[in-house]
A and B are shown apart, each in its own frame.
Chain A
Amino acid sequence: MQQKEKPPWWKTDFGPPYFKDLMHPVLKKNYGKWAYHEVIRPGVIKRVAESGDTVYVVRFGTPRLISIYTVRDLCDIADKYCDGYLRWTSRHNVEFILTDESKIDDLIKEVEEKTGFPCGGTWDATSGKYGLSNIIHTQGWVHCHTPAIDASGIVKAVMDELYEYFVEMKLPALCRISLACCANMCGAVHASDISIVGIHRTPPLVDDDAVRRMCELPTTAASCPNAAIKVKAKEKTLEVDGEKCMFCGNCYTMCPGMPLFDPENDGAAILCAGKVSDARHPPELSKVVVPWLPNEPPRWPSVVEAVKKIFLAWANNAKKHERMVEFIERIGWERFFDLAGLEFSWHLIDDFRVPPFMYASYRVGTQFRW
């Protein structure tokens, strides 16, 4: 780009706005001095400060991908009810902070009418009544170049099915569902109660011409975790050993000449029983319970059905405060596969040859359930 004389306002590396400049005065006043909170109804958290100041945080689920015109609608509402302040949560929800309890109903009505965003996504540990939180997800076919599945469409189909659990609080414990459209996983999918992960199942179909034009051969070969890629020096291209390839797509990220898309064979794996919070049970990775389901746009019935089976097996049988991993540890994986109506196949036994993972999941001793 042509370098012109820089105008006086020109700057770089100035960083984000200072958060306190964008924070409601009541939050600034009581910063670090909150006393307690109560969930007074689904989607509404009452927060009380040591000073006695009280705010009502009202939460709405969004589809993450939103229009500037919707943001303007949300701004109109925040101007009317919240002195011009609002925030987003770490799970794609938008929150309005009210100081006047009597405005809660009007606010909810107005947000739902103008945007269609439902109020909910909260949980109340005190009473042991939990709502489902929004699904964390990635970009999929809307805007990503490596996906094996779509993201927003599957999330929509799953949340339509589980909607009642978002707007009410009738689950035994927290349940975090997340989706990543490939194994790069732009999100905390690998430590969720239920996760949907896009996987490829066929090795890259090497495009010799693209490899020659755009790729560095040694770095692409070195990017393979299984040493499945060989440099063909004479032909100036790459060769893949189909027996070693695990379809991770790392080489495609390095080199556009290694596409591994196959519309008939790309699809979703379903994982479950991971968590990140330390409450009761330490954090744990999710485990694969369904190896592959096909892409079925626009409503992905097989994925929705599998997620619902896992979700209900847990929701209908778990004890109060028992998250997916705690529930399955209590009843055993044997019982879980029965309860959820899932088939256990050889794909689910780890054979990825990196030491901390493979053997760690094998059962030692003879303690198991019939």
Chain B
Amino acid sequence: MSETPLLDQIPDGPWPSFVKEIRKTAELQEKAIAEGKEVKMPGCAKALLKQLERSYKDKKTHWKHGGIVSVVGYGGGVIGRYSDLGEELPEVHHFHTIRVNQPAGWFYTTKALRQFMDVWEKWGSGLLNMHGSTGDFVLLGTRSEYLQPMFEEMMQMDPPFDIGGSGSDLRTPSACMGPALCEFACYDTLQLCYDLTMEYQNELHRPMWPYKFKFKLSGCPNDCVAAKARSDFAIIGTWKDDIQIDRDAVKEYAKFMDIQKEVVDLCPTKCMTWDENRKSLEIDNRNCVRCMHCINKMPKALKPGKVRGATICIGAKAPCVEGAIIGWVAIPFIPADKLFERIKEIVEPLWEWWDDEGKFRERIGEFLWRKGMGQFLRVIGEKADVRMIKHPRTNPFMYFEKKELRPSKIVEELEKRGMRFKSLDREEEEI
């Protein structure tokens, strides 16, 4: 009788099986031990299967609430995980996670990966997630006392790999493959991701905020890293001038594509016209909202314009606690060559404000709902722009600052009685 009758049913079917991966690890780790290799977590893959089988039977997790574990000098990036079946399955009693900061765009050499696999074979479970949802390269399962030696091995690899973010810190930034492989990239997502990661190493490794903060970078509005839905600060490539058009290439597409039906009719603003006789496509660029549909359809013929940069969308997050948010437009456009400097000018005061006044476990999106866009714009030094909204507000309950009011006897009397008026200025409000 198998020890894992429920898990035995998982490998059925054509999709690759995680159970097969865990079994393969168990088997080959034993072989490695037999060959005399040093393996610090023997038997843990097999024990993991036993624990998982128990979860499948009990219909609940058997991982306990994490404890605090770390490596020297860091506050985040290592997550404590303990089994509630520790006595029965001591091999997985400690089964901590190490988040490793992935290279931007998830590019690897086999040399780098092999070094990693060798040290993880020694110090850990031999299992990993390629990749975690935030983008990190996630090492699954090791003991508290092996965290530090594992990290020290990571420091000495060529190239060395550093730890990623966790808890209330800057989470590991992630980016689409951008200019490395894609013709749609409107700015250098990989370089900016790298620059932001390096600039904010302290914020990434030492949790000190009310909650987490995520940067995600997509090179165009197709948003292959889902930045708009899940990063507090989404940097989405876009452009300001006319779509570049190669008219001969359009004619080539017209030989096999119904351009009227599949391109022009699906344009959200109907800003395109197609002349079937002349095989000519016209774009009213002032009415284009840069949705990417026509460019996706005809990549040889149409390209984003030349005045390129990014839109910043702010506030995206998952449902906990006040409901899911898709980021909204905070800054309609920053030119590509100004992105790094301007983002620094925006996020540093934003973090300071949130750190001072944010509630525990309050993400930037929820914080801004509570504080209002007026004060946000004041903090980041931007003007209100109609591009930030779908439509103006539908209720008349607006705040006015004292300086916007006309001097009057009533205002004087209210002030005399100690009435405080709305102020977008932080210092004034704090007095």
Contact = CB atoms under 8 A, between A and B. Distances in A.
Are A and B genuine complex partners? yes
B427 interface: no
A163 B15 contact: yes
B142 interface: no
Interface string A72-105: 1011101100001111111010100000000000
B6 interface: yes
A140 to B, nearest CB: 8
Given A9-B156, A187-B230, A72 B101 contact: no
19 contacts: A12-B74, A15-B194, A16-B161, A17-B161, A18-B103, A37-B183, A63-B18, A63-B21, A68-B120, A86-B113, A87-B107, A143-B81, A163-B15, A253-B361, A254-B361, A277-B292, A282-B291, A295-B59, A357-B323
A68 B103 contact: no
Residue of B60, B132, B156 with highest tally of chain A CB at under 10 A: B60
A19 B107 contact: yes
A280 B60 contact: no
Interface in A128-167: 128, 136, 138-147, 150, 152-153, 155-157, 159-161, 163, 166
Interface stretch (A219-227, A232-240, A340-348): A219-227
A225 B322 contact: yes
Nearest to B173: A16
A132 to B, nearest CB: 11
* Chain B: number of interface residues, binned into ranges: 35 or more
Nearest to A223: B361
B56 interface: yes
Interface of A: 1, 3, 9-23, 27, 31-32, 34-37, 47, 55, 57, 61-72, 74-76, 78-79, 84-90, 92, 94, 115-118, 125-126, 128, 136, 138-147, 150, 152-153, 155-157, 159-161, 163, 166, 180, 183-191, 219, 222-223, 225, 248-250, 252-254, 256, 261, 263-264, 266, 274, 276-285, 295, 297-299, 320-321, 352, 354, 356-357
A84 B109 contact: yes
Contacts of B129: 64-66, 139
Given A1-B148, A298-B56, A88 B130 contact: yes
Nearest to A143: B140
Interface string B280-323: 00000000011111001111100000000000000000111111
B18 A183 contact: no
B411 interface: no
B160 A87 contact: no
Contact of A143 (B95, B103, B116, B321): B95
B242 interface: no
B430 to A, nearest CB: 22
A21 B176 CA distance: 17
A248 B323 CA distance: 10
Interface stretch (B196-204, B340-348, B378-386): B196-204
Contacts of B201: 13-15
A284 B152 CA distance: 44
A289 to B, nearest CB: 15
Contact of B61 (A18, A69, A144, A280): A144
A65 B112 contact: no
Contacts of B224: 89-90
A99 B268 CA distance: 38
Top-5 shortest CB links A-B: A160-B13, A185-B318, A188-B226, A263-B59, A191-B229
A183 B320 contact: yes
B188 A32 contact: yes
Contacts of B389: none
Contacts of A284: 326
A276 B226 contact: yes
Contacts of B148: 1
A92 B131 contact: yes
Contacts of B101: 15-16
A320 to B, nearest CB: 7
Contacts of B156: 9
Interface string B108-142: 11111110110011000011111111110000110
A27 B155 CA distance: 27
Residue of B56, B155, B222, B318 with highest tally of chain A CB at under 10 A: B318
Contacts of A94: 130
Interface stretch (B62-70, B350-358, B401-409, B416-424): B62-70
B185 interface: yes
B268 A84 contact: no
Contacts of B182: 34, 37, 47
Contact of B221 (A180, A191, A278): A278
Contact of B223 (A146, A189, A223, A276): A276
A126 B297 contact: yes
A277 B221 contact: yes
Residue of A117, A143, A285 with highest tally of chain B CB at under 10 A: A143
Contacts of B87: none
Contacts of B132: 186
B126 A68 contact: yes
Nearest to B298: A126
B15 A61 contact: yes
A93 to B, nearest CB: 10
B253 interface: yes
Given A72-B117, A145-B65, A153 B10 contact: yes
A266 B198 CA distance: 41
Contact of B65 (A17, A21, A256, A280): A256
B72 interface: yes
A126 B223 CA distance: 18
Contact of B253 (A126, A157, A321, A357): A126
Contacts of B202: 13
A297 B6 contact: yes
B208 interface: no
A64 B21 CA distance: 10
A217 B201 CA distance: 33
Interface string B169-181: 0000010110111
B15 A47 contact: no
A43 to B, nearest CB: 14
A140 B56 CA distance: 11
B162 A15 contact: yes
A36 B299 contact: yes
A352 B24 CA distance: 45
A285 B326 contact: yes
Contacts of B112: 17, 22
A223 B321 CA distance: 9
A188 B325 CA distance: 11
A64 to B, nearest CB: 6
B130 A279 contact: no
